[in-house]
Chains A and B, each alone.
Chain A
Amino acid sequence: MDYMQSIILGFQVALQWNNLLFCFIGVVIGTLVGVLPGLGPVAAISLLLPTTFHLTPVSAIIMLAGIYYGAMYGGSTTSILVNIPGEAASVVTCLDGYQMARKGRAGPALGISAFASFIAGTIGVVGLMLIAPPLAEMALKFGPPEYFALMIMGLTILTFLASGPMWKALLMAAFGLFLGSIGLDGMTASARFTLDIVELSDGVGMVPAVMGLFGISEVLLNVEQSIKRSVFETKIRHLLPTFQDWKDSIGAIFRGTFIGFFLGVLPGGGAVISSFVSYAVEKKVSRTPEKFGAGIIQGVVGPEAANNAATGGAFIPLLTLGIPANAVMAILLGSMMVHGMQPGPMLVQEQPGLFWGAVTSMYIGNVMLLILNLPLIGLWVRILKVPYPILFPLILLFCLIGAYSLNNSVIEVLIMVGFGILGYIFKKFEYEAAPLILALVLGPMLEAALRRSLLLSAGSPLIFFNRPISGVLMLISIFLLAYPLIPWLRRKRAILPQVSDEE
């Protein structure tokens, strides 16, 4: 099937009324969770996952994907108007977006960020359509060692890019691998670390873990200080950018798109990191870097384009290799499995309707978002004015219902609450939860690939280095792991004399 036929097939699926409806629901909910601080796409998708169980697989994926890229659109609204990021990928947008609003340019900031999101989101989908099928064909040649090496690289990249000391991020990944090993052993079916709790036989659920670590813990952190949000009180006018705005922004939009898409493809990359990188690049290439932070339009559109393009890129490893690039993709992987699909190289060939339907729905979703976002900004502003003390009980209730509905089990709720408390403690001690989640999801796949590889090589770990693809991937991982050691060693040398001096 050539590209044209595939795209036509995709549109035939995506334009069915029920899929259009779920795409619409997805992007509206996505924008809403993007707008609301403290409830990101990870928590929202986990929350709504059980409600998709009675949908067709393609409708479910279309809706859940819509939430993801919809949240990227919505996040900018809160950043610009309230100076609080609606979700993590919009942190950077606060820097210049809010300053633009203070200067009376809230309208152009919101308008141009919606257009930047649309352009980047659309280019991201085109990239996904062009790259995914050939990559899936190549992935058919992957064996267990290549999969193992790729997953190790994904975890290493995530820990490398995580904030704070690398040992903490790696430790969280190792802890995630342990949590992922709880339950029945995939090869021998014997129970591990289940503490005789039946619900743990299927492993630690990713959904309660994600909702706890990202949803509940965020609420716990927010309630410990009285949040007084001040929504920027101004008439939002001139949403349509001027010619000068376009002239100033277009380069940043394309650079952000390029950065976002390729960082999105990398396992461990994603929207958050790409928005930061884009901001740094814009500042570097700017002739007036001193204006960054004071309300420059490039500081808004670059990161916004990057985080939207990253959403398209992030689907590539999931749909072609079955490997989630980030926590959101990990939940989508889980939901695809719930619906009886196995994302990976065979998906494009075996279920072309689903693959192309989901991809083309993103085009439609992006158009919906552009049309919806500008007229609905007033509504989002009103929602933002709902005080947090009234909002947080609702967020908690949705999490509780979401966790319970997974298996109608109180144990899942208790697991989620436990992870919430754990996430709260992690944040207090500055441990990032993202490597844990990625490792928790990849754990069972990684273990199967590791054990199969060792079976194939009669116990020789060299199998990961002898084969060209896995060898290159492992070398990249080793380089990333070794990289921080060099300055650390230098620093250590510098510290030791001081220590001896003190003694």
Chain B
Amino acid sequence: MAKFNNDQVSAAIWIAVGIAVALGALRYGLGPLESPGTGFLPFLAGCAIALLASIGLIQSTLKRRKGTGWTPILRGVLWQKPLLVMAALFAYALLMKPLGFVLCTVLFIGFLLRAVEPQPWSVVLFGAIGTALGAFAIFNLWLKAQLPQGPWGF
């Protein structure tokens, strides 16, 4: 059994986040109480995060002593699939301007249809091209959203 439970781990991370926020806020100046400065609210928020996480750490440590251990968060799930989706999302964000909306969307939808839960190639091709053209027609031509054009003009 792991040494810590889930809440202990997350609370420890939150304590670090809270301290970082509070220290970061100090740079902006807290100001006097009668005229609070720019860093006043984020400082309070950082302190609150650290304080609440400390309470959580104490509670979860008490629970750990009672036997509440680490619950594996990826056991029994196909964790590779969310990872693939995340990678596809980042790739889409980074490539949508250089490649243009239509091509980027064809690749994105095609990849998801084929890689996450493999569909027949006919579904992949028809789905990817149809979705990209349909979305382009609805959002770009009809709703006048200015989607990135890429070197091909679409």
- The CB with the most chain A CB atoms within 10 A, among B10, B96, B97, B131, is that of B10
Query: From residue 89 to 138 of chain B, which have CB atoms closer than 8 A to chain A?
Result: 89-90, 92-94, 96-97, 105, 108-109, 112-113, 116-117, 119, 123, 127, 131, 135
Of A245-253, A279-287, A289-297, A452-460, the segment with at least 4 beta carbons within 8 Å of chain B is: A452-460
Complex contacts, A420 vs chain B, CB 8 Å: 86, 89
Q: Is the CB of A454 within 8 A of B62?
A: no
Count A-B pairs with CB separation below 8 Å. 180
Q: Is the CB of B117 within 8 A of A389?
A: yes
Complex contacts, A177 vs chain B, CB 8 Å: 41-42, 44-45, 48
Q: Is B151 an interface residue (CB 8 A)?
A: no
Complex contacts, A393 vs chain B, CB 8 Å: 108-109, 112-113, 127, 131
Residue from the list A216, A392, A410, A457 in contact with B96, Cβ < 8 A: A410
Q: Is the CB of A404 within 8 A of B24?
A: no
Q: Is B52 an interface residue (CB 8 A)?
A: yes
Q: Is the CB of A190 within 8 A of B21?
A: no
Q: Is the CB of A220 within 8 A of B82?
A: yes
Complex contacts, A488 vs chain B, CB 8 Å: 59
Q: Is A396 an interface residue (CB 8 A)?
A: yes
Whole-angstrom distance between the Cβ of B146 and the nearest chain A Cβ: 5
Complex contacts, A400 vs chain B, CB 8 Å: 89, 92-93, 96, 108
Query: From residue 20 to 50 of chain B, which have CB atoms closer than 8 A to chain A?
Result: 21, 24-25, 28, 32-42, 44-46, 48-49
Q: Is the CB of B139 within 8 A of A401?
A: yes
Q: Is B85 an interface residue (CB 8 A)?
A: yes
Complex contacts, B144 vs chain A, CB 8 Å: 54
Interface majority SS (helix, strand, loop, mixed), chain A: helix
Q: Is B1 an interface residue (CB 8 A)?
A: no
Q: Is A378 an interface residue (CB 8 A)?
A: no
Q: Is A379 an interface residue (CB 8 A)?
A: no
Q: Is the CB of A170 within 8 A of B42?
A: no
Given the known inter-chain contacts A413-B96, A451-B36, please indicate yes or no for A170 contacting B117, CB distance below 8 A: no
Given the known inter-chain contacts A223-B85, A225-B77, A397-B108, please indicate yes or no for A459 contacting B34, CB distance below 8 A: yes
Q: Is the CB of B42 within 8 A of A192?
A: yes
Residue from the list B14, B37, B116 in contact with A223, Cβ < 8 A: B116
Query: From residue 427 to 475 of chain A, which have CB atoms closer than 8 A to chain B?
Result: 428-431, 443, 446-447, 450-451, 454-455, 457-459, 461
Per-position binary interface string of chain A over residues 213-240, scored 1 when its CB falls under 8 Å from any chain B CB and 0 otherwise: 0001001110111100000000000000
Given the known inter-chain contacts A171-B52, A181-B41, A223-B81, please indicate yes or no for A192 contacting B33, CB distance below 8 A: no
Query: From residue 158 to 179 of chain A, which have CB atoms closer than 8 A to chain B?
Result: 165, 167-168, 170-171, 174-175, 177-178
Q: Is the CB of B109 within 8 A of A401?
A: no
Chain A interface residue count: which class?
Answer: 35 or more
Given the known inter-chain contacts A181-B41, A393-B112, A401-B145, please indicate yes or no for A454 contacting B117, CB distance below 8 A: no
Per-position binary interface string of chain B over residues 69-88, scored 1 when its CB falls under 8 Å from any chain A CB and 0 otherwise: 00001000111011001101
Q: Is the CB of A220 within 8 A of B41?
A: no
Given the known inter-chain contacts A223-B81, A223-B116, please indicate yes or no for A181 contacting B93, CB distance below 8 A: no
Q: Is the CB of B45 within 8 A of A175?
A: yes
Q: Is A196 an interface residue (CB 8 A)?
A: no
Q: Is the CB of B38 within 8 A of A190?
A: yes
Residue from the list B56, B73, B109, B145 in contact with A50, Cβ < 8 A: B145
Complex contacts, B79 vs chain A, CB 8 Å: 224
Given the known inter-chain contacts A225-B78, A401-B147, A417-B89, please indicate yes or no for A455 contacting B108, CB distance below 8 A: no
- The CB with the most chain B CB atoms within 10 A, among A170, A220, A223, is that of A223
Complex contacts, A446 vs chain B, CB 8 Å: 41
Q: Is A198 an interface residue (CB 8 A)?
A: no
Whole-angstrom distance between the Cβ of B77 and the nearest chain A Cβ: 4
Given the known inter-chain contacts A175-B45, A410-B94, please indicate yes or no for A396 contacting B89, CB distance below 8 A: yes
Of A102-110, A264-272, A307-315, A492-500, the segment with at least 4 beta carbons within 8 Å of chain B is: A492-500
Q: Is B143 an interface residue (CB 8 A)?
A: yes
Whole-angstrom distance between the Cβ of A486 and the nearest chain B Cβ: 15
Whole-angstrom distance between the Cβ of B36 and the nearest chain A Cβ: 5
Q: Is the CB of A458 within 8 A of B62?
A: no
Complex contacts, B6 vs chain A, CB 8 Å: 429-430
Given the known inter-chain contacts A192-B42, A397-B131, please indicate yes or no for A454 contacting B113, CB distance below 8 A: no
User: How far, in whole Å, are A429 and B116 apart by their CA atoms in the complex?
Assistant: 24
Q: Is the CB of B62 within 8 A of A178?
A: no
Query: From residue 376 to 418 of chain A, which have CB atoms closer than 8 A to chain B?
Result: 389-390, 392-394, 396-397, 400-401, 404-405, 408, 410, 413-414, 417
Which residue of chain B has the shortest Cβ distance to A389 in the bound complex?
B117
Q: Is B65 an interface residue (CB 8 A)?
A: yes
Q: Is A502 an interface residue (CB 8 A)?
A: yes
Complex contacts, A226 vs chain B, CB 8 Å: 78, 117
5 smallest CB-CB distances across A and B, nearest first, come from A459-B34, A459-B33, A389-B117, A174-B48, A178-B45
Contacts A/B (CB < 8 Å), 20 sampled? A51-B139, A165-B56, A167-B53, A181-B45, A192-B38, A220-B85, A389-B116, A392-B112, A396-B112, A397-B108, A404-B148, A405-B145, A410-B96, A410-B97, A417-B86, A417-B90, A447-B41, A451-B35, A454-B34, A459-B35
20 extra A-B contacts, CB within 8 A, seeds A400-B89, A400-B92, A431-B10: A51-B145, A165-B59, A178-B49, A193-B24, A193-B42, A216-B89, A220-B85, A223-B81, A224-B81, A389-B116, A390-B127, A393-B131, A397-B108, A400-B108, A405-B139, A405-B147, A408-B148, A429-B7, A447-B41, A458-B34
